Chains A and B, each alone.
Chain A
């Protein structure tokens, strides 16, 4: 696993190989209006990890994931992704970081209605500077990778919930990001579809992608190598097998 990482990481500074992919230092987040959601959270996620983020509703899990995903900047503290300090980067650079390094999966899929699975997935590369033909080629490959090679021309409403989420996952990974963030990807699915989505995440992790997944499902979380427990804006437990492949 480390080998894979070394390869995809070679374009980075070689010294970066040792540094964690995600690093939060005493991060506090206050939403406009004064709601303090995270308080002095520190966290490291190494390359190749598969992390579950669990905790009660409203505890700050999504906020944590948004900060990791550079969709928001912390009010205090430092968020470092692949060595880049989020607070110091302008919008352009953060966007580039998201386009190349981070993939997102959401509970509600966010697929464009009336657009085929293929083009939905191809949109995952829209902001990466890839030509349209190449985007669609890679989208097809990504759809095959998530087991939807036979659904390429289907529209979202023609797909089951589980299939839709797999299309969304294909879109998230079509650009081969090093980090995949999933916010309750099984939240809108029945248990069978949910299990298949989790299985897919495991496969992606096995092939080198670092993944953080928020879940409500205790059983699901229990099966993952590392579990971060969030409560009231803080990490209350970070269960074993941390740093899996150091």
Chain B
């Protein structure tokens, strides 16, 4: 028997492969749009979730950077410190630690209460704390005034207070000059602070000068919180040194914390929600993949005649397989491209609306598109193999 080595099937060029696969899709545009839509929605959801989360993170990072990540708080440890107050000069002492650029303190004035006026029954507690504040608190923490001003260095003839943002709102005070009933006497509100995200304790406080606190409110002079601004390069060292410097007699009685860490942890906790949304996006991508698989299976069943004809024209079974696989990947990629565009638009829109700097991580786009290609290939594999295994005579049997 003669066998001819020349009987070699010709390769189909990539351009022809795509043309044939694209032709298969073009013949049924509505179906293509509908099945690509599933993929598109999945990808759009995932891009949106990641993009919005990244934008929010970027906005948060910028805000945190503005607030400063180089502030440390020294507080009386709630478990071990109740019996060992910090010394009165604690802020002066920590200022001597190398790398500390600023230090200030507040001290809780126990038993002092603040009311809008003297007619409100004392029992109606409003949970506003009265704090004695050292003069350099605004500089150390970068506090901003929403109204009025901070205590000036000269001692006022009459008692004055500066309210935290929440405290002012609760007392119904919106401008400097009003009076509040504080510790059984009238205090003039000389200023209102802007919200202080790093030190939320101050938001809910009525601040009074240290001398006023000691003279008029019986403040014992022991700080309960010392705020320290440091050179960030030495922050870890300083953190270690602070308990001993702030309370040499009982270093174990104080706890050092970094407010920016707490804020970041809170933000991260809110972000865990995005993992759930991302999961939903992935599920919808999967459902989209099932849609593509379904479309391809139907296509193979419907196009038996075409498959048979192509085999008659000389297509190898591998070429038929490649054709349907390419078609499936194209279909899925179409959805992926549309979904990516949709996701980017959604992220941009939402970020702009929120006033965030939009951030769409490129790896997410690349990952999304890669995922669609994978989904397309996976969804198309079985139908393609089925098409390629169909005996040509059988494929041609019923038109």
Residues of A in contact with B (beta carbons under 8 Å apart): 11, 13, 16, 63, 66, 69, 71-72, 83-85, 88-89, 91-93, 95-100, 102, 104, 106-108, 110, 112-115, 123-124, 126-130, 132, 171
Contact = CB atoms under 8 A, between A and B. Distances in A.
B392 A84 contact: no
B393 interface: yes
B28 to A, nearest CB: 10
A60 to B, nearest CB: 12
Given A98-B314, A112-B23, A72 B7 contact: no
Nearest to B4: A84
A88 B314 CA distance: 17
9 contacts: A84-B3, A84-B4, A85-B1, A107-B399, A110-B399, A114-B27, A127-B316, A129-B10, A132-B16
B26 to A, nearest CB: 7
A71 B314 CA distance: 10
Contacts of A128: 10, 314
Contacts of B392: 66, 71-72
Contacts of B76: none
Given A71-B392, A98-B313, A110-B306, A93 B9 contact: yes
Interface string B314-354: 11111100000000000000000000000000000000000
Contacts of A97: 7
B305 A127 contact: no
Given A92-B9, A104-B309, A126-B12, 11 more contacts: A71-B308, A84-B4, A91-B316, A93-B8, A95-B319, A99-B313, A106-B399, A110-B305, A114-B27, A126-B315, A127-B314
A13 B16 CA distance: 32
A88 B310 CA distance: 22
A106 B2 CA distance: 31
Interface of B: 1-4, 6-12, 15-16, 19-20, 23, 26-27, 305-306, 308-319, 391-393, 396, 399
B7 A66 contact: no
A108 B16 CA distance: 25
Contacts of B311: 71, 95, 98
Contact of A112 (B8, B19, B306, B391): B306
Q: Looking at A66, A85, A102, A115, which has the most chain B CB atoms within 10 Å of its CB?
A: A66
A72 B9 contact: no
Contacts of A95: 9, 311, 314-317, 319
A92 B8 contact: yes
A67 to B, nearest CB: 8
A102 B312 CA distance: 8
* Of B8, B20, B27, B312, most A-chain CB atoms within 10 Å: B312
A130 B399 CA distance: 28
Given A96-B9, A132-B16, A83 B4 contact: yes
A100 B314 contact: yes
Nearest to B317: A91
Nearest to A128: B10
Contacts of A89: 3, 7
A171 B396 CA distance: 16
B327 to A, nearest CB: 14
A104 B312 contact: yes
Q: Which 10 A-B pairs have the closest CB atoms?
A: A99-B314, A129-B10, A127-B314, A108-B399, A93-B7, A71-B392, A72-B393, A95-B316, A96-B9, A66-B393
A202 B391 CA distance: 31
Nearest to B320: A95
A127 to B, nearest CB: 4
B315 A132 contact: no
A16 B4 CA distance: 12
A158 to B, nearest CB: 16
Given A97-B7, A126-B20, A127-B310, A72 B15 contact: no
A83 B392 CA distance: 22
